[in-house]
Homo-oligomer: A and B are copies of this chain.
């Protein structure tokens, strides 16, 4: 079925109607076919809609590099000087001609012998900010709407797309049964992490509410920081669920690892009662995803693309170490699992025995700083992925289940069944835990975290008889906006667990781009939300 009809009649836009002789091909299709044996396009008329990446005008011929966003590699066209007269960098053209093999020794295998070229959108090369020369990441970040048009950033967009597609395949064909992809709400009542760094929302121009019922939703609402709580509701019915959804943090941190809006891949599994199953799920998922990407053209493009530095990617990416990174992910030995307590001991030993020095001396109570994480993954584990498990209960959110084993007889050293996955360069890329699925224990945790409100009791100091007490609560306690979450534990609550992965960070790791500000097309962070 021909779905994009050519215009047979006069074109309203004043330029010539599309040729009906040849349908439009994509550069990727033509160039790929030209590399792999007999090429079905050879000596045929082909037609491209694309952009002039560069043009060289000589006396007898002109040469233009054409791209159409389908591959980083340009397609070379040879033109008569008259045909090239109006061509300039950036111009949008419809170009057609014969696809001819080049004599051996030329850089390209084929070139387009142009029969016809029409400029549909001119470009003034004097003012066009995207030039072929090196442009710094800082400069390009100021023009994200045009940054997309540099070859490597264009490739990054296609790579992200392929990641999303392959992620769908990973979960759809999971050996333990398909995971259900869900779309949890972004407007929520609670701050999952308890960190308080959320955005509130209100209708534009609305007066600041002075009473609860003046809020648009009859109560204050926030942009989600994690979909975990809702995923637990889905998993309680569907078993295995996942989502890839934007999350928001109103953090003022100015680092290449943080954004105010970013995509989080989250999954939740019901009937899961040990942490090894959870880290196994994460490892399997990331290995499977990487392997699938490796077998796609765009995956290979990322591994071999020329990098001119315009996305601040690590220099190391040039040197074949990116390929090693992928190989480690796909085919390397099982990733290490070490407990937090063990990690801290190793860090302390590194200080006392190997002269390692940290800004923050490692202590069990102090948690892991970025410098500690980097040392763990890069020095102690030779740059291979590592799961750090069982962190102190005191530094983690209320919903985490206790560890299966305790390493210390010191009861003040309570730990929870959780993990952080550390990768070189990006450090923490994923975190997850088993969830406290027992109602009394969950409520006790909430109480300890100050999440249970006290409420006005009626005159008699007793609840009205028609309002039965919530289990495990005293009459003056109120679960407030988290009652629905506690509800999930009341009727058929099974052990379960899940994780969240910073999707943009992981894309940066796979593509060798060190700042999430260069991985996300339109990055939002403190003080910046251009376009």
Residues of chain A having any CB pair with chain B under 8 Å: 1, 3-5, 7, 11-13, 18, 24, 26, 28-29, 49, 51-52, 68-70, 90-92, 94, 120-124, 127-128, 130, 143, 145-146, 148-149, 154, 157-158, 160-161, 164-165, 168, 172, 175-178, 180-189, 191, 196-205, 208, 216-219, 221-223, 230, 233-234, 236-239, 245-246, 248, 250, 260-261, 263, 269-274, 276-277, 280-281, 283-284, 402-405, 437-438, 484-485, 487-495, 520-522, 524, 526-531
Contacts and interface: CB of A to CB of B under 8 A. Distances in A.
List 6 tightest A-B contacts by C-beta distance, closest first. A203-B250, A49-B271, A4-B277, A69-B238, A121-B493, A123-B491
A62 to B, nearest CB: 18
Given A4-B176, A157-B234, A271 B528 contact: no
Given A191-B204, A233-B531, 16 more contacts: A11-B273, A12-B273, A12-B402, A13-B437, A28-B177, A68-B239, A69-B239, A92-B492, A92-B494, A123-B492, A165-B172, A182-B521, A183-B263, A183-B520, A187-B524, A217-B526
Contacts of A13: 273, 437-438, 495
Contact of A145 (B90, B269, B277, B488): B488
B490 A145 contact: no
Given A161-B180, A284-B3, A491 B145 contact: no
A145 B3 contact: no
Contact of A284 (B1, B26, B178, B402): B1
A120 B218 CA distance: 37
A216 B524 CA distance: 10
A145 B219 CA distance: 18
B68 A184 contact: no
Contacts of A180: 69, 157-158, 161
Contact of A185 (B172, B237, B522): B522
- Most B CB contacts (10 A, CB to CB) among A7, A204, A234, A531 go to A531
A199 B206 CA distance: 9
Contacts of A187: 248, 260-261, 524, 529
A196 B154 CA distance: 33
A181 B168 CA distance: 12
A3 B128 CA distance: 52
Q: Please report whether the interface of chain A is mostly helix, strand, loop or mixed according to DSSP.
A: loop
A474 to B, nearest CB: 19
A526 B217 CA distance: 6
Contacts of A145: 233, 484-485, 487-488
Given A203-B197, A271-B94, A492-B90, A239 B127 contact: no
A275 to B, nearest CB: 10
B186 A246 contact: yes
A392 to B, nearest CB: 17
9 contacts: A3-B281, A11-B273, A128-B490, A145-B233, A154-B238, A187-B248, A198-B204, A199-B201, A223-B223
B272 A239 contact: no
A416 to B, nearest CB: 12
A128 B491 contact: yes
A239 B492 contact: no
B161 A182 contact: yes
Contacts of A175: 1, 3
A237 B404 CA distance: 52
Contacts of A239: 26, 49, 68-70
A182 B427 CA distance: 25
A493 B432 CA distance: 46
A261 B143 CA distance: 29
B217 A529 contact: yes
Contact of A217 (B12, B186, B222, B528): B528
Contacts of A284: 1, 3
A168 B173 CA distance: 14
A437 B15 CA distance: 13
A495 B94 CA distance: 11
Contact of A281 (B4, B127, B186): B4
